[in-house]
Each structure stands twice: as structure tokens, then as C-alpha cells.
Chains A and B, each alone.
Chain A
Amino acid sequence: MKRIKPVSLEPTMRTETAKPKLDPKVARDIQSRIGQQLREMYDDVVKQGVPDRFAELLRQLDEAGKSGAAQQPSAGGEPASGGDLDKKGVGE
């Protein structure tokens, strides 16, 4: 019954953590803002959709595929390191 001593309880809890802790409510607010801003930042890019260069790239790949496999780097080993597709795709 007389175990609880509200006055001394809090300081004891405080000293358990090495550095000053954020108020839990502030911490929650900050976490939800972090989530929001993270998505906002990310969605700014997503909202830009598919830039022309990629639509064009896929269109060219499509045509290359239809007109025969001769131009394809079908050896497949290291496609990203260059080859015909790379030259055709980068239309800067």
C-alpha cells in the first residue's frame, strides 16, 4: 500500500537513460513526420512519371526485337556494360 512514492519515481526513471529522452508524445510526432516527409520526398519523384527517355528506350527495344534478334546482345553475359543497345538507347 505504501510502496508507491510518486515523488521519487520519476527521477529514478530519468536516471536510467543515458541521455535526456524526448517526451514520448514529441517522439511520436517526430516519427510520424519522418514517415510523411519520407513519402513526400519520394513521391515528388514518382509523380514525375516515366520520362521520355525511358519510353523511347523501351520503344526502341521493342522495335529491335521485332526487326530480328540480330542486334540484340543476346550473348547476355554482360549486357549493362555496353553493346549495341546501349549505343542505341542513349539518345542524349
Chain B
Amino acid sequence: MTLDPATRDAVLGSIPNLRAFAISLCGNVDRADDLVQETVLRALANIDSFQPGTNMAAWLFTILRNLFRSEYRKRRREVEDVEGKYADNMKSQPDQEGRIELQEFRAALAQLPSDQREALILVGASGFSYEEAAEICECAVGTIKSRVSRARARLAELLAIDSIDDFGPDRTTRAVLAGGRG
């Protein structure tokens, strides 16, 4: 099997997005890169099962997600530990320094159940349609929609609480605004 240049380019082109998704799944850059590498190897070894003309990125995301989930089952305890440290790991990325708002966002994101987090990221950041996300997560479109909407509602709650706290002296005003004039 020689590596067809078009396939190679398509795989290469998907790597930045695969990494971003992988990091969002495992919260750890090194493990995410291993996961992406495994994904690439598995994809190329099974390239015959890819249907030309269909969405290569969605296919690769599906492989990556399945690999992550089987790894998760194998190393449940360890991965739970990683989940717990998710926000800390994210904070240690050098170019995130000084971006407090984004750090708060990561911390809030880390509190979501993983199925909601992955749905939100696929739709809100990776740019997949609900249908594509449903295909990647192997569930119904309605399930993706409800996960995304629950994720958004929960994040709003978490971030609203944060911003009210941040406003400090102004919090009474904010509370009145938020709660109506009672």
C-alpha cells in the first residue's frame, strides 16, 4: 500500500483540528498527541474503509473518539485523574498565560460531563454540523442538540456566577438586573 498524496494531504490537513479535539477530550497535550498519532496510523491502515467523497475529517474524528473511549475504559482510574486535573493542565500551556478570562472558561468547561463537552466542541469549535457530530458520537441528532444546549446552559450558569463575583461591589446591581426588581 503506497500512501496516496491526496490522502496524505487530507490527513495532514486534519491534524491541527484532531489535536484541538484530542486536547479537549483528555486535557493533556502529550496524551492528546499520542492519541492523534494512533488515529493517523489506524486511519491509514484502514484507508480502504474510507469512502472517497465523504467527509475525511469526520471519519478521522470518529476514529479518534473511539480510540479515546476504549483507552478510557482500559485506564478508567488514570483518566479520571486526568479529568480532575483538566483545568490545571490547560493553564500550564505557555501561551495561555495572562488570559484570565479564558482560564475561567476552561475551568468551567472542565466541569461539564464529557459527553456534553465533546458535543459542544464538535459543534461550537470544530465546525461540524449537528448531523456530522451525531455521526461522530454515534448517537441521534436530537441527542447532540440536547447535549449542546445543556452544555451551554450549564456554562452560562457557571460563567454568570463568576462574572457576578468579579464585579464585587457591583454585585447587588447585577443581582437586581439578573433577578428582576423584587
> Which A residues are closer than 8 A to B by beta carbons?
10, 14, 20-23, 26-27, 30-31, 33-35, 37-51, 53-55, 57-58, 61-62, 65-66, 69, 72-74, 76, 79-80, 85-86, 89-90
Contact = CB atoms under 8 A, between A and B. Distances in A.
Contacts of B11: 58
B159 A42 contact: no
Given A41-B102, A72-B1, 5 more contacts: A20-B180, A30-B159, A51-B33, A54-B36, A80-B38
Interface residues of B, number: 49
Nearest to A34: B155
Interface string B26-47: 0000000100111111101110
* Chief secondary structure at chain B's binding surface: helix
Contacts of B58: none
Given A45-B16, A61-B3, A22 B156 contact: yes
B3 A65 contact: yes
Interface of B: 1-3, 8, 11-12, 15-17, 19-20, 23-24, 33, 36-42, 44-46, 67, 93, 95-96, 101-102, 105-106, 109, 120-121, 124-126, 152, 155-156, 159-160, 163, 177-180, 182
